[in-house]
Amino acid sequence: DAGVTQSPTHLIKTRGQQVTLRCSPKSGHDTVSWYQQALGQGPQFIFQYYEEEERQRGNFPDRFSGHQFPNYSSELNVNALLLGDSALYLCASLRGREGNYGYTFGSGTRLTVV
Partner 1 sequence: AQKITQTQPGMFVQEKEAVTLDCTYDTSDPSYGLFWYKQPSSGEMIFLIYQGSYDQQNATEGRYSLNFQKARKSANLVISASQLGDSAMYFCAMREGLPGSARQLTFGSGTQLTVLP
Name every residue whose Cβ is closer than 8 Å to that of residue 69 and which is 6 or more positions away in sequence.
Answer: 52, 75
CA pair distance 8, 23, nearest whole angstrom? 9
From 16-24, 63-71, 73-81, 105-113, span contacting partner 1 (CB under 8 A): 105-113
Interface mask toward partner 1 for 40-79; x: CB under 8 A: -xxxxx--x-x----xx-x---------------------
Q: Bridge-partner residues for 31, per DSSP? A: 50, 94
What binding mask, one character per residue, do residues 3-42 give for partner 1 by CB under 8 A, x or -?
Answer: ----------------------------x-x-x-----xx
**Whole-number minimum distance, CB 92 to partner 1, in Å?**
7
Asked whether 45 and 112 are in contact (CB, 8 A), the reply is no
Cβ-Cβ contacts under 8 Å for 44 (sequence gap 6 or more): 35, 36, 37, 38, 58, 59, 60
Residues of the shown chain interacting with partner 1 in the complex, contacts defined by CB under 8 A: 31, 33, 35, 41-45, 48, 50, 55-56, 58, 88, 90, 92, 94, 96-101, 103-108, 110
